[in-house]
Structure 1
Amino acid sequence: MSAPVAVVTGASRGIGHHLAEGLERAGFVVERGSRAVAEVTDRAAVERWVEDISGRRGRIDLLVNNAGVIDTEVSLEESDPDEWWRTMEVNVLGPYLVTRYVMPHMVAAGGGRVVNLNSGSGTRAGEVASAYNASKTALARITGSTHLSGAAHGIRAFDLAPGVVRTDMTLSMASHEGRTEWTSPQEVVDLVLALASGELDAWSGRMVRAGVDTSESLRRRAAAGLAAGDRTITLMPWGSDDPLA
């Protein structure tokens, strides 16, 4: 059997680079995405890139949507509209496009797994960098839709919050100035490998967090039972008499 094929966007640096290296060490053939290969917001470029990979490799087993940016850490009223929208395009349109063109190949092959690099920021509003928070919330909806439409075809999709890994991006952020505790890249790699293996498929459509969750803790929790809304971004009604309940 040929080696499994993984597609990793934004793999030239940061978390994406660590993931590509870790997947290769684990025996994956890794197709590394970068702006030089295909701008994730360019529909035609993404489609060509995915078709090229499928043509050369004959399969795509794992997609890791890692490419992302953060907007300047200022309030919404001080934000630059062009930068704000660019953040949304890269972080939302990008994963959508790559997933859109990879999924038919996974459907044809009988399955596959999609891991979207999300963030705890996506679970709440942000006083600053509002586009980043909004984009990660939207990304969780893409993950959920991928899970729902892909389940019948053997496709599973996960939100993975990597914690705070020491990268160029996090080092440039005012919110992490003086930070001494970081999530190790290996913890992120280990969790992606566990998701790719299928052992954590019960978490499809939900968020896991490197540095806090492990494959063992997630298996244990799944075995104890997961409620419909566990680890999802869900409206919380005020009680049973809430008309939105």
Structure 2
Amino acid sequence: MTARVAVVTGASRGIGRHVADALEAAGWVVERGSTAVAPVTDRAAVERWVADVVARHGRLDLLVNNAGVIDEEVPLADSDPDEWWHTVEVNVRGPYLMTRTALPHLAATGGRIVNINSGAAYRNYDIATAYNVSKGALARLTAATGIGGEHGVRAFDLAPGVVQTDMTLAMKAHEDRTEWTSPEEVTALLLAMADGQLDAWTGRMVRAGVDTVESLQERAEQGIGEGDRTLGLLRWGEDDPLS
């Protein structure tokens, strides 16, 4: 039986490395991406890489869009325009290009996409605004891919909580943090997504450290509303004309 094949971007360190290691331990063939392998913002490089993976393995079953950066933790007025736009490019253009390129191959295998997202997608912060904007946009990409798509590919937003990585250790917001989300909590959810155990949550966000495979399965059995765990407008009540 041919081993399942996964592509993980930004897998040289941090969450991406934990994810790639966990997939390999579970028997997956893992193609680890990095800037040296294929910059995710470079369309030609992304297309060459995915084509090479499929040519060598004959299939693609999972895409994990993990590669990401954060801009300086300052208010919008103090942000650097070039850094701001670079953050959006990496965090939005990257997953878009990877998803667009991988989609036909994933459709052929009934594959899945996991986008590593963040609580910044739906919380109102006044610093690191490019990161916040990019994660909100990523949630919309996940919904567009995973809800109602005719291609049959399921897509998920996985918010990892706050895992101790080079990125989080360098952030002012976590200078005094003493409690961290364990990598195992993240990889448990990801492996369940990859195996199809959480397909009911396609197009939606789950969070490591709060959700578990069991709690999400139990909730799915009770029923998931159309807007549950998606990014959308909060109406002021039934009389709100916006819907």
Fold conserved between structures, TM > 0.5 = yes
CA distance in 2, matches of 1:210, 1:182: 11
- Extract unaligned runs of 5+ from structure 2: none
Match of residue 210 from structure 2: 212
CA distance, structure 1, for counterparts of residue 148 and residue 56 of structure 2: 27
The alignment yields a C-alpha RMSD, in angstroms, of 0.9
Deviation at 1:55, TM superposition (A): 0.5
After superposition, the Cα gap between the structure-2 partners of 1:115 and 1:32, relative to the gap in structure 1 and judged at 3 Å, is same
For residue 98 of structure 1, what is the amino acid of its counterpart? M
Alignment correspondent of 2:139: 140
Q: Helix, strand or coil: the match of 2:209?
A: coil
Distance 2:76 2:154 in 1: 35
| Equivalences for residues 40-119 of structure 1 within 5 A | 40-107=40-107, 109-119=108-118
Determine which of 188, 191, 200 is the counterpart of 1:190.
Answer: 188
> SS state of the match for residue 71, structure 1?
coil
Shift of 1:26: 0.4
User: Is residue 171–residue 177 contact of structure 1 (8 Å, CA) maintained in 2?
Assistant: yes
* Other-structure match for 1:200: 198
CA distance in 2, matches of 1:130, 1:154: 33
Q: How far 1:153 moved relative to its partner?
A: 3.0
Aligned partner of 2:94: which letter? G
CA distance in 1, matches of 2:186, 2:120: 17
Percentage of matched positions with identical amino acids: 68
Normalising by the residue count of structure 1, what TM-score does the alignment of the two structures yield? 0.97
- Specify the code of the residue in structure 1 equivalent to 2:120: S
Shift of 1:154: 2.6
Alpha-carbon distance in 2 for matches of 1:242, 1:199: 37
C-alpha distance in structure 1 between counterparts of 2:124 and 2:117, whole Å:
14
SS at structure 1 position matched to 2:55: helix
Task: Show the counterpart of 2:161.
Answer: 163
TM-score by length of 2: 0.98
- How far, CA to CA, are the matches of 1:125 and 1:139 in structure 2? 16
